[in-house]
Amino acid sequence: MKRLFLLAICLMPMSLMAQEPGIGLRMGEPFSITYKTFLDDHISIEGMFGSAGPNSASYYRNTFENNRPGPNTFYIGHSTSNRWSMNFRMAYHEDITDMIGIGSGYLLAYAGAGAQLRSVMVDYVYSQGTNPNVTFAEQRRNMDFGPEGFVGSEYYIEEIPLSVFVEVGLFMELVERFGHFRLQGAIGARYLF
């Protein structure tokens, strides 16, 4: 949590760059602190830092099977810890307030792309063929990096400096397991300053 707060403080000077910068909380995948600012009326940039969710159990089992610690080793299970994620994104926004018929505040639809770096510590438990009742442990860091695409909408509340958003996206790994896709989504809110 200290790291998230420090990142938020470090990103604040970027607020001088453009209109309507905001900092907030993104609840979903990944769970993050988010900082967003506009470069012009339609283009925004966003930085996020938070907690990455683990991949599926079969993902980690396949990773183990493809890189066994030795011959005659058999996967028993795994656990994950120390998960984090960093994102840098850019999006194009379009005002759809009139299309929806909103009388107060305004609503933007957006689509964009970015890059994501994810890290998860994986603790594997395995046995060896000579004595299956004796177990061994090995710790590995799973680092995933790749592009993401996303779409969403953000509502700016007129009376208070707050926006709320909902979005869905797709992340593709380039590093670790090339071509592995992960569906992501979130809701969140940002304080505007």
Q: What pLDDT was estimated at residue 17?
A: 33
Tell me the per-residue pLDDT of 164-185, one tens digit each, with 9 for 90 and over: 999 999 999 998 889 999 999 9
Task: Kindly state whether residue 154 falls inside one of the protein's structural domains.
Answer: yes
Tell me the per-residue pLDDT of 107-135, one tens digit each, with 9 for 90 and over: 999 999 999 999 999 999 999 887 778 89
Considering its fold, how many domains does the chain have in total? 1
**Stretches in the chain below the pLDDT threshold 70:** 1-19
Task: Kindly state whether residue 161 falls inside one of the protein's structural domains.
Answer: yes
Task: Kindly state whether residue 135 falls inside one of the protein's structural domains.
Answer: no
The domain that contains 177 carries what CATH number?
A: 2.40.160.20
| DSSP secondary structure, the chain, as one string | -HHHHHHHHHHGGGGGSSSS-EEEEEEESSEEEEEEEESSSSEEEEEEEEEPPP--HHHHHHHHHHT-SSTTEEEEEEEEEEEEEEEEEEEEEEE-HHHHT-SSSEEEEEEEEEEEEEEEEEEEEEEETTEEEEEEEEEEEEEEEEEEEEEEEEEEETTTTEEEEEEEEEEE-SBSSTT-EEEEEEEEEEEE-
Task: Kindly state whether residue 99 falls inside one of the protein's structural domains.
Answer: yes
Task: Kindly state whether residue 66 falls inside one of the protein's structural domains.
Answer: no
Range of the domain at 114: 2-54+82-119+144-192
Q: What pLDDT was estimated at residue 3?
A: 52
Task: Kindly state whether residue 112 falls inside one of the protein's structural domains.
Answer: yes
